[in-house]
Homo-oligomer: A and B are copies of this chain.
Amino acid sequence: MPSPEFFQVIPVDDALALLDQHWQPLPATETLSTAAALDRILAADLRSPEQVPAFRKSTVDGYALRAADTFGASQSLPAFLRLRGELKMGEAPTDDVGVADALLIHTGGMLPASADAVVMLEQAQVIDEGEIEILRAAAPGENVIQAGEDIAAGALVLPRGQRLRAQDIGGLLAVGISEIPVLARPRVGILSCGDELTPPEARLTPGMVRDINAYTLSALAEKHDAAPLRLGIAADAINDYRQRAEAGFAACDILLLSAGSSVSARDYTRDVINGLGAPGLLQHGLATKPGKPTIIAVCKNKPVIGLPGNPASALLVARQLLPHLIARYLGQAPQSPATREARLSQRVASVTGREDWLPVKLSRAEDGGTLAEPVFGKSNLIFTLIAADGLLRVPLNTGGYEAGSIVDVQLF
């Protein structure tokens, strides 16, 4: 007769520290088109192969000229210059400016060799087709970007570890870097175990339930920039469970086991995990509800987590562990979930020695603030989480919250 589970629980932060201590991520690298690399993590320092701009260019629409020719010019005493023509965009100038010459130039246009300044259109007057008046003295370099002024050849464009934003993709392409090395997304394997589980698309026979953990955990992994790998459903039999876990473990970087709800499946999980390699099981039991029976392990330098079979519990515990593991694999600081301040609609009790995660629904309060209402469910099922907008964390060893307390709700 199997006995109920008794174990010494530890706080989630301690469990994460244990994982960190036993796991040194060795992320893989892959080459991607820069244009397709939004939100990916650079795997190397990238230096510019060329300077930008590649040539001296005008920052305004105006007249390219030699600043010396405008010395002392003013509204009352303009400098007269010969307008030699117009510089075309996208071409090297085919003409140059000599003494007292000017060429019409557009924003971004390339300066002719002897020009060292541009006077804006508004600061000149056209006399006739071949002559202009410059109404103000120009300083050398005025309205000109020098070659290499934005970035020098050989300068660092972006450092290793940078998560690529829109402007980063633009900057890399601006210097001609169209392929880049990025860290591979960690592959998060997800294996469910239980004789009662069936794939969601299958017809349900009596006694069976659809395996949704594979999909909720996939979505969580995807949301946090990992590549989920659904490993199917293992029978509640040690050999099948072990075989599928071993095959999946080899193909992934982080393994999640979602043990079915039967006692034997839960018992098997420990054995299966310990069979995957050293050091194996690090902790059984977290001081969190839901999530108490969670197993924390590292096998052959890969984190392995044994999650509860209950879908809501599995998802809520995975939320506390998986984003940390993915961020660590990618060398990033874990991002704190977005929160909203709300007033609690009713008293929430808590039990000493564990932290509670309570689904709450948010609504607009009469005073214009936000009201947080706990969503209770008999067996903490997935529909409770669907009805909720976020989670209220009731920390370890507090007395819970009184009705009307102002709390921070972690948004989904």
Interface residues, chain A, with chain B CB atoms under 8 Å away: 1-4, 34-35, 38-39, 50, 52-55, 59, 61, 88-93, 106-110, 120-122, 126, 145, 149-151, 157-158, 165-171, 173-174, 176, 178, 194-198, 200-201, 204-210, 212-213, 215-220, 222-223, 236, 260-263, 309, 311-312, 315, 338, 377-379, 381-383, 385-386, 412
- The interface residues of chain B lying within 8 Å CB-to-CB of A109 are 196, 207, 262
| Complex contact A50–B90 (CB within 8 A) | no
Known pairs A54-B206, A107-B263 / 14 extra A-B pairs, C-beta < 8 Å: A34-B200, A39-B223, A90-B195, A91-B207, A108-B261, A110-B206, A145-B379, A150-B377, A166-B412, A167-B216, A167-B386, A170-B215, A171-B385, A176-B210
Minimum CB–CB distance for A62 against chain B, Å: 10
Q: A158-B386, A167-B382, A218-B35 are in contact. Are A110 and B207 (CB under 8 A)?
A: yes
- The distance from the CB of A175 to the nearest CB of chain B, in whole angstroms, is 8
A145: chain B residues within 8 A (beta carbon): 378-379
Contacts of A198 in B (CB 8 A): 90
Q: How far is the CB of A362 from chain B (nearest CB, A)?
A: 13
Q: Contact: A90 with B194, CB < 8 Å? A: yes
Each complex incorporates copies of this chain amounting to 2
* B residues less than 8 Å from A222 (CB atoms): 38
Contact partner of A92 (CB less than 8 A), chosen from B55, B167, B207, B220, is B207
Q: How far is the CB of A201 from chain B (nearest CB, A)?
A: 5
CA distance A195 to B91 in the complex (A): 9
> Which residues of chain B are near A169, meaning CB under 8 Å?
212, 215-216, 219
Residues of B within 8 A of A197 (CB): 90
Q: B residues within 8 A CB of A212? A: 169-171, 173-174
**Nearest 5 Cβ contacts at the A-B interface:** A92-B206, A166-B219, A90-B196, A173-B200, A167-B385
**Assuming A204-B50, A262-B106, is B122 touching A4 (CB within 8 A)?**
yes
Cβ of A53: which chain B residues have Cβ within 8 Å of it? 209
- Nearest Cβ in chain B — how far from A144, in angstroms? 10
Q: Is the Cβ of A216 less than 8 Å from the Cβ of B166? A: yes
Interfacial chain B residues near A91, Cβ < 8 Å = 195, 206-207
CA distance A291 to B215 in the complex (A): 43
> Are A89 and B196 CB-contacts (below 8 A) given A35-B215, A108-B262, A212-B173?
yes
A174 CA / B198 CA spacing, docked (Å): 10
Cα–Cα distance between A165 and B385 once the two chains are bound (Å):
10
Asked if B218 contacts A204 (CB within 8 A), the reply is no
Q: Is the CB of A173 within 8 A of B61?
A: no
- The answer to whether B178 and A200 have CB atoms under 8 Å apart is yes
User: Max chain B CB contacts within 10 Å: which of A55, A109, A222, A386?
Assistant: A386
**A38 cross-chain contacts in B, Cβ below 8 A:** 219, 222-223
